[in-house]
Chain A
C-alpha cells in the first residue's frame, strides 16, 4: 500500500503533527504511573509490602545468626534491653530476629503457593471455559471434588503425608487453593469467549492458545489480580495456622510458630503473640490494599485515561 500515491501524500501531511506530538509511545506508561500515585490505598499498601519485603530480604544482614538461638534471658519485654528491641521469648530467643526471618518464610510460602495455585487454576479454568462441552464437564467436576474438601484440612493432610518443609507447605497450599481461581477464570472465559472480539480473532485464524492467552486472558485479568492478592494473604494465614498447630517446618521460625509458642504466656507476656500477629495483619492488609488498587489501576477505562 505504501506504493500508492495518495497514501504517501497522507503520510507527508501527518508527519509534522506526529513530530510535534512525539512522546506518544510513553503515554501508556504515564497513565499507569499517574493512576498509581493518585491512589492512596494502593500507595500505603505498597509501602507496607515493600517494607516487609525489604526486611525479609535483608534479614540475614540485619539479624545475623540463627533466630532459633537462645541469646538472652527469657521473656525480656520490648525496650527492656536495647540489644533486643522487641524482647525475647520464653526460651530467650530474639523476637525481632524471629519476626524478620519469619517474614522470609511467610512471604516465600505465600508467593509460591499463590503462583502454584494461579498456574493450575488458570490452566484448568481457561480450558474449561474456552472449550466448553466435555472438557468443561470433566474439569468442572474435578474442581468441585477439590472444593468439597476444606482447604485447611487438605493442606494438613498433604503436609502430614509429605515432610513439613517450607517448599512442601507451599506446594500443599497451592494445590489446595487452585479451585477458587479455576472457577473464577472459567466464569470469565465463559462470558468472554462469546464476545465479538473473540469471534473477530477467530475470523483472523488465531489459534486457540493464542486467543486464550492474548485475547481473553488480559480481559479476565482484573478479578484474577484481586483474587491473587487475597490468595497470598490466605496462604500466609494458612501457613501461620499450620505453624501454630506445630505442623510447620520445624527448622524455620515463622510468624505462625511464634504465635503458637507465645500462646502459653498470653496472660503475662502478650507481646509474644501480639507482635507476630500484628505482622501478619499488616502484611495481609497491605496485600488487600495493593490488590484493590491494582484493580482500579489496570483498568484502562479508569477515569484518568
Chain B
C-alpha cells in the first residue's frame, strides 16, 4: 500500500458551545478521489476547512493531526502553511457565483495565484493563465482573460475557480460540494473536468458531497460521516454493493436508481426516520435514535471504527459483530 498523501488522525473540532467533529480519521492516497459524504450539518465542510486551517471565527482544532506530505497542518506555523495552501493543497468552494472577486478580471485572478506562489513574471503568468483557461474548457481564452466574473455563467465560473485551484499543480485538491450550486448537466461536465485534471496532473481529490450518485460515478473510496463522526469507510464498489452501517444502508435505500425496479412510480422510497438533530446529547452511537437495528448496547458508548476487511471500516457494534464486547464491558 502506498503511503497516504493526507492522513487525518483523530481530528476533533469544537466551537465554544460544543464539539462538532469527534475524532475523525481518514487517509487520502496520491492520485485517488476520496469522497467525504454526509448530510447537511454532519461536519464534512468544517472538516475540509480545518484541513486548510481556515476555520470560521470561534472554531478550533481541539485535537488530532492532519499530516499532509509529512507536515502536521494542525500544528504547523502560519508561515509553513502559507507555502502549502494554494500551492500543493488547494480548495474549491461550493458557490462559484460568489467565490470570484467581482471587481477583478478573471485572468488576473488566476495569474495572481502563480505570481504569488511561483514568483513568475506578469507576461509568463498571463500566458499560463490563458493555457489554464483553455485546459478547463473556457473557449476563446485569450479574449476572455480580461472579462469580469459577471460575464460568466455559474458553470464557467466554477471552471475558472478550478483553473485557480490547479494553477500551481496541487498534490491534493479539496472540493467542497463543487457542483451543488450548478444544474445537473453542468454538474457532470465539471466533475468530468475534475477527473481529467486529476489524471493529467496526478493530484488527489478530496470530494465533499452529499450526492451518492456523484460518489458512485467519480470516487475511488468513500468515507461516510454522521453527526461529526466517521461511520463507514470503504472503496466505492463494496460500499455500494454491501453497505455495512445502518445509516449508509438507509442512505442508499433512500436514493433512486436509474435502472430497474426501484423507481418512485413503482414503490415508495424508503426514508430514514427522524433527523440528525436527534444525535445531540446521545451518549452512545449518534445514530442510535434513528437506527432500525439498534440494541441496548448501542446507547452505552460511541462505537469505535472497526476493520471489517481490507480498507473497509465501520463504526457499528452490530455490523462489526463486536456487540458482545460492548455488552461484556
Could you tell me which residues of chain A, from 254 to 305, have a CB within 8 Å of some CB in chain B? 300-301, 305
The interface centre, meaning the residue of B82, B101, B128, B135 with most chain A CB atoms within 10 A of its CB, is B101
Name the distance in Å between A25's Cβ and chain B's nearest Cβ.
6
| Also in contact, A24 and B93, with CB within 8 A (given A200-B100, A205-B86, A219-B101) | no
A145 at the interface (CB under 8 A from B): no
Which residue of the partner chain A has the closest CB to B201?
A1
Could you tell me which residues of chain B, from 112 to 131, have a CB within 8 Å of some CB in chain A? 112-113, 116-117, 128, 131
Stretch at the interface among B36-44, B146-154, B300-308: B146-154
Stretch at the interface among A2-10, A51-59, A111-119, A120-128: A2-10
Q: Once the chains bind, are B145 and A218 in contact (CB under 8 Å)?
A: no
Task: Provide the bound-state CA to CA distance between A218 and B143, in Å.
Answer: 23
Q: Once the chains bind, are A132 and B151 in contact (CB under 8 Å)?
A: no
Q: Once the chains bind, are B142 and A196 in contact (CB under 8 Å)?
A: no
Q: Once the chains bind, are B146 and A28 in contact (CB under 8 Å)?
A: yes
Could you tell me which residues of chain B, from 130 to 144, have a CB within 8 Å of some CB in chain A? 131-132, 134-135, 139-143
Q: Once the chains bind, are B85 and A205 in contact (CB under 8 Å)?
A: yes
Pick the residue among A18, A25, A201 that contacts B101 (CB under 8 A): A201
Chain A residues near B185: list those with CB within 8 A: none
Name the distance in Å between B57's Cβ and chain A's nearest Cβ.
7
Q: Once the chains bind, are A197 and B134 in contact (CB under 8 Å)?
A: no
B278 at the interface (CB under 8 A from A): no
Name the distance in Å between B302's Cβ and chain A's nearest Cβ.
31
Task: Provide the bound-state CA to CA distance between A11 and B139, in Å.
Answer: 10
Q: Once the chains bind, are B145 and A24 in contact (CB under 8 Å)?
A: yes
Chain A residues near B145: list those with CB within 8 A: 24
Chain A residues near B57: list those with CB within 8 A: 132-133
Q: Once the chains bind, are A196 and B99 in contact (CB under 8 Å)?
A: yes
Chain A residues near B87: list those with CB within 8 A: 205
Task: Provide the bound-state CA to CA distance between A102 and B42, in Å.
Answer: 68
- Tell me the count of chain B residues lying within 8 A, CB to CB, of chain A: 44
Q: Once the chains bind, are A200 and B140 in contact (CB under 8 Å)?
A: no
Number of A-B contacts (CB under 8 A): 106
Chain A residues near B104: list those with CB within 8 A: 214-215, 218
Q: Once the chains bind, are B54 and A1 in contact (CB under 8 Å)?
A: no
Pick the residue among A195, A203, A221, A300 that contacts B54 (CB under 8 A): A203
Chain A residues near B161: list those with CB within 8 A: 200
Could you tell me which residues of chain A, from 61 to 89, have a CB within 8 Å of some CB in chain B? none
Q: Once the chains bind, are A203 and B90 in contact (CB under 8 Å)?
A: yes
Which residue of the partner chain B has the closest CB to A21?
B143
Task: Provide the bound-state CA to CA distance between A301 and B161, in Å.
Answer: 20
Q: Once the chains bind, are A1 and B135 in contact (CB under 8 Å)?
A: yes
Chain A residues near B140: list those with CB within 8 A: 14, 17-18, 21
Q: Once the chains bind, are B116 and A205 in contact (CB under 8 Å)?
A: yes
Name the distance in Å between B125's Cβ and chain A's nearest Cβ.
13
Chain A residues near B9: list those with CB within 8 A: none
For A37-59 the 0/1 string (1 means CB < 8 A from B) is: 00000000000000000000000
B325 at the interface (CB under 8 A from A): no
Which residue of the partner chain B has the closest CB to A200?
B99
B211 at the interface (CB under 8 A from A): no
A27 at the interface (CB under 8 A from B): yes
The interface centre, meaning the residue of A132, A133, A202 with most chain B CB atoms within 10 A of its CB, is A202
Pick the residue among A25, A133, A197, A204 that contacts B100 (CB under 8 A): A197
The interface centre, meaning the residue of B57, B134, B161 with most chain A CB atoms within 10 A of its CB, is B134
Chain B residues near A202: list those with CB within 8 A: 54, 85
B66 at the interface (CB under 8 A from A): no
Q: Once the chains bind, are B103 and A200 in contact (CB under 8 Å)?
A: no
B2 at the interface (CB under 8 A from A): no
Chain A residues near B235: list those with CB within 8 A: none
Task: Provide the bound-state CA to CA distance between A197 and B100, in Å.
Answer: 5
Pick the residue among B52, B83, B86, B131 that contacts A11 (CB under 8 A): B131
Chain B residues near A132: list those with CB within 8 A: 57
Task: Provide the bound-state CA to CA distance between A21 and B150, in Å.
Answer: 20
Pick the residue among B82, B95, B150 that contacts A196 (CB under 8 A): B95
Q: Once the chains bind, are A219 and B146 in contact (CB under 8 Å)?
A: no
Q: Once the chains bind, are A215 and B101 in contact (CB under 8 Å)?
A: yes
B91 at the interface (CB under 8 A from A): yes
Task: Provide the bound-state CA to CA distance between A305 and B102, in Å.
Answer: 13
A149 at the interface (CB under 8 A from B): no
Which residue of the partner chain B has the closest CB to A300?
B148
The interface centre, meaning the residue of B57, B143, B150, B164 with most chain A CB atoms within 10 A of its CB, is B143
Task: Provide the bound-state CA to CA distance between A18 and B143, in Å.
Answer: 6
Chain B residues near A213: list those with CB within 8 A: none
Task: Provide the bound-state CA to CA distance between A241 and B215, in Å.
Answer: 71
Chain A residues near B139: list those with CB within 8 A: 14
List 13 A–B pairs whose Cβ atoms lie within 8 Å, in order of A's numbering: A2-B131, A4-B200, A10-B135, A18-B142, A28-B105, A196-B93, A200-B100, A200-B161, A203-B85, A203-B91, A204-B113, A205-B82, A214-B112
Could you tell me which A residues sit within 8 Å of B by CB distance? 1-2, 4, 7, 10-11, 14, 17-18, 21, 24-25, 27-28, 132-133, 195-197, 199-207, 214-215, 218-219, 221, 300-301, 305
Q: Which 7 A-B pairs have the closest CB atoms?
A: A204-B86, A205-B85, A203-B91, A196-B98, A18-B142, A205-B82, A196-B99
